[in-house]
Structure 1
Amino acid sequence: MTDNPGFLLYLFGFVLLIGPLVFVHELGHYAAGRWFGIKAEAFSIGFGREIAGFTDKRGTRWKFGWLPLGGYVKFAGDMNPAGQPTPEWLSLPAAERAQTFQAKPLWQRAIVVAAGPVTNFIVAILILGVFAGIYGEAKIPPVAGSIEAGTPAAAAGLKPGDRFVAIGGRPVDSFEDMMRFTSLRAGMPVRIDYVRDGRAASTDAVIGRLVEKDRFGNESSRGYLGVAGTDEVVRTPVAWWQAPLVGFKRTVSLVKTMIDGLGQLVMGRVPVSELGGPLRIAKISGEMLSLGFEQFVIMAALISINLGFINLLPVPVLDGGHLLFYAVEAVRRKPVEPEVMEWAFRGGMIAILALMLLVTFNDLGAFGVWRNLAGLIG
């Protein structure tokens, strides 16, 4: 028996989650553009046909699209997918051209592009900082509370009370460090350094794979050793002036975990079936909302970090792709040729569409669509 929040809560949770996060991302672009005197022609939350909107006194059209899967800011002068000047741009009066995106120096354009992902990180830092200020900073010591029989930890000779020092050559400061490392490395042989009865020791283990289901019926797999932590939780109060720093550290830690996870995915240690898209986000957002507002807000921080991180990947079409070409332009001291940019952006668009098809396939599997179809056919 699994809990099911229902379709309406999935939909409400998704809109409540994605809408504000996309808004603050695009608001970052918009604010940086305004700072540098760039005119914004449109600010859209969602894609497709406009269902509501208004035009402000600066001539910016603020609107909502019918497909709430993203958004965009369209700056004056940004006239093609590659962001290259066109004859139409060159024919503009000088005063109008000065307010366009392409008229600005390279460093200003780079800041405008980077401002969106940076804003997502700032939102996460603020959320995690506020929670740290309210609840303090909790940490479980890196000590084995129990060892499950028949697991890699038992085979490696680990015992309750062992204090872990490092795993796979990486220092361990908390039990969470152990979990983060092992969860991404199923099947990987590792060396574990620990202290037992005041004496340093080490052992080798092969991280196993554990398939789990949560209360909502979501199935996932992760690497595991078979070590459970102790019941001890060290909770340190956090002063309000320290809270932003704690939020920053947590955000950096999560970004490192994402980079680590991406590397493990590329090396094949994390199956592509673990990748999720909008449908799975909608499902999880509804589930987190059913668990309470605090759980939902924490998830919003995690998704905000994901949005910032993904948008900084050096893939044409994404913000990181633009920044990559700006870096090349800075080195060459001239823009990349329009033809090269156009082909790169076409390739980037194909890659993004292929990824969307993959994650949608995975999402439908998470909803049990393929299993039900197989049952009907069988």
Structure 2
Amino acid sequence: MNTVIAFIFMFGLLVFIHEWGHLIFAKRAGMLAREFAIGFGPKVFAFTRNETVYTIRLLPIGGYVRVAGEDPEIIDLKPGHHVGLEFNEQDEVIKIIVNHKSKHPNARVIEIEEADLDHKLQIVGYEIDEQDEELRFKVHPKAKFVMDEQETQIAPYNRQFASKSVGQRAMQLFAGPMMNFVLAIVIFLILGVIQGVPVEEAKMGEVQADSPAAEAGIKNGDEVVKIEGQSISTWQQFTTIVRENPGEELDLVVLREGKEVPLTVIPAEVPGMEGQEPFGQIGVYKAFEKSLLGTVSYGFTQTFETTKLILTNLGMLITGQLPIETLSGPVGIYDATDQIVQTGFTNFLLWTAMLSINLGIVNLVPLPALDGGRLLFVGIEAVRGKPIAPEKEGLFHFVGFAFLMLLMIIVTWNDIQRLFL
């Protein structure tokens, strides 16, 4: 149950922060954000606030913010249509009722001659069976289009995605991944406050029970100053030598309470990932210290270092140095979360930060249907001075989305085979 709660919290937080970034910058640019959704598929829960419908959907595989104009608008009034109109006190149309007009006895029924809900915001038409007098009606910018008793707010062109500048559209698309990086920085800052900041020196923190380090007599607070007669000064130097010598006896000199103490340790041999050599491990954690400046620096440096690591692994995946089996979908992430939750809250926070950075990076990859793919089209528009035809862009994203769903199925099947079969 702890894992289920942790996974739901983590998934909800990552998706919420990502989509919240898109939502905030859409609203800042004056776009009409029609829906803010966590999950895909059928609605589980929904409410409306400030023009936006907030929904939780059944399938926990992502989320989205639907902005007016990104998809073809469903509101379409053609000559000859009979609609019911309701007005406010300023004689502006506030409701356009397409069917079930009998349920709106106060609506004025007219036959459409011309309707412009994008620029002029007006409807031209005639009373039913009275074609002699042309009538013009001003439409309120937030008028509702009512179809099957479902209300949809109209979106004048200046509220649509395409009406905004290249910079505003690019920022709205980039804001989602950006907020994932911001979340990671905040989590690392929280970790810095809770546990302190790891020191650069080869200073020992927690020593695991029954580990090679415990058997060798290494204690919390010891600082390794020599290995095999070689002076060392950093944690990276220390761990590099340990990793390179699995099963080999290593002579250490540690500084303990101002005195040098000689010790001998034999690193345990740990199997490497598929295609990689085994490595040494002695069972110690890095020492931590608390400082305000160090905590602030830690938030940014850890985000940067984690980003570099993920980009390196992504590059290895693209070049074939890592097999596709190393990818994990929701099932694999849930299993990893289960293992990490059992090791403690701080490790769960670290895992959440890493996944947040990973989500930000993946969404910036210029693939169809991802933020990076859409940013690519905005960039092309900026270079060529005009947008690519919406039909071509839509086809590109549709094919890309289908490819991503296929990849998701393959990855999920790999997870199931690895964990259950």
Q: TM-score of the superposition, structure 2-length normalised?
A: 0.64
- Residue in 2 that maps onto 1:13: 6
Unaligned runs of 5+ in 1: 1-7, 147-158, 166-171, 183-208, 213-219, 370-378
Matches within 5 A, 1:146-161: 160=228
- Residue in 1 that maps onto 2:153: none
Amino acid corresponding to residue 312 of structure 2 in structure 1: D
> Which of the residues 17, 22, 36 maps onto 2:15?
22
| 2:71 partner SS | coil
> Which of the residues 28, 32, 46 maps onto 2:25?
32
Amino acid corresponding to residue 13 of structure 2 in structure 1: P
What displacement does 1:178 show?
A: 5.0
What displacement does 1:25 show?
A: 0.7
The answer on 1:327 being equivalent to 2:379 is yes
What displacement does 1:88 show?
A: 5.7
- Residue in 2 that maps onto 1:278: 330
Q: Deviations over 1:174-210 (max 9, x none)?
A: 259959x99xxxxxxxxxxxxxxxxxxxxxxxxxx96
Matches within 5 A, 1:1-378: 8-56=1-49, 58-80=50-72, 91-94=116-119, 95=141, 96-139=156-199, 160=228, 162=230, 174-175=236-237, 211=271, 221=274, 223-224=276-277, 226-228=279-281, 233=286, 235-239=288-292, 241-369=293-421
Q: Distance in 2 between matches of 1:271 and 1:287?
A: 23
Q: Distance in 2 between matches of 1:267 and 1:114?
A: 26
Q: Distance in 2 between matches of 1:12 and 1:134?
A: 22
Q: 1:139 to 1:265 in 2, by over 3 A?
A: farther
What displacement does 1:141 show?
A: 5.2
Task: Verify the 8 A CA contact 1:142 1:174 in the aligned structure 2.
Answer: yes
State which structure, 1 or 2, has the greater radius of gyration over its C-alpha atoms.
2
Q: Distance in 1 between matches of 2:18 and 2:239?
A: 30
Q: 1:123 to 1:268 in 2, by over 3 A?
A: same
Q: 1:320 to 1:232 in 2, by over 3 A?
A: closer
Same amino acid, percent of matched pairs:
30
Q: Deviations over 1:332-361 (max 9, x none)?
A: 111123343133213312331232122112
Q: 1:42 to 1:275 in 2, by over 3 A?
A: same
Task: Verify the 8 A CA contact 1:55 1:61 in the aligned structure 2.
Answer: yes
Q: Distance in 1 between matches of 2:283 and 2:200?
A: 7
What displacement does 1:34 show?
A: 1.2
What displacement does 1:298 show?
A: 1.6
Q: 1:233 to 1:285 in 2, by over 3 A?
A: closer
Q: Deviations over 1:295-343 (max 9, x none)?
A: 2222111111111111111101000111111111111111123343133
Task: Verify the 8 A CA contact 1:12 1:286 in the aligned structure 2.
Answer: no
Larger relative strand fraction: 2
Q: Distance in 2 between matches of 1:323 and 1:129?
A: 30
Unaligned runs of 5+ in 2: 78-114, 120-140, 142-155, 204-211, 213-226, 245-268
| 1:64 partner SS | strand
Q: 1:109 to 1:68 in 2, by over 3 A?
A: same
Larger relative helix fraction: 1
- Alignment RMSD: 3.5
Q: 1:119 to 1:302 in 2, by over 3 A?
A: same
Task: Verify the 8 A CA contact 2:31 2:67 in the aligned structure 1.
Answer: yes
Q: Distance in 1 between matches of 2:67 and 2:321?
A: 41
Task: Verify the 8 A CA contact 2:34 2:67 in the aligned structure 1.
Answer: yes
Tell me whether 8-17 or 312-321 shows the greater mean CA deviation: 8-17
What displacement does 1:142 show?
A: 7.5
What displacement does 1:110 show?
A: 0.5
Q: Distance in 1 between matches of 2:160 and 2:285?
A: 58
Task: Verify the 8 A CA contact 2:188 2:353 in the aligned structure 1.
Answer: yes
Q: Distance in 1 between matches of 2:184 and 2:361?
A: 12
Tell me whether 312-321 or 221-230 shows the greater mean CA deviation: 221-230
Q: Deviations over 1:14-51 (max 9, x none)?
A: 21210111011100100111111112111111111111
Q: Distance in 2 between matches of 1:39 and 1:122?
A: 25
| 2:276 partner SS | strand
Q: 1:285 to 1:231 in 2, by over 3 A?
A: closer
Q: Distance in 1 between matches of 2:383 and 2:418?
A: 45
Amino acid corresponding to residue 174 of structure 1 in structure 2: Q
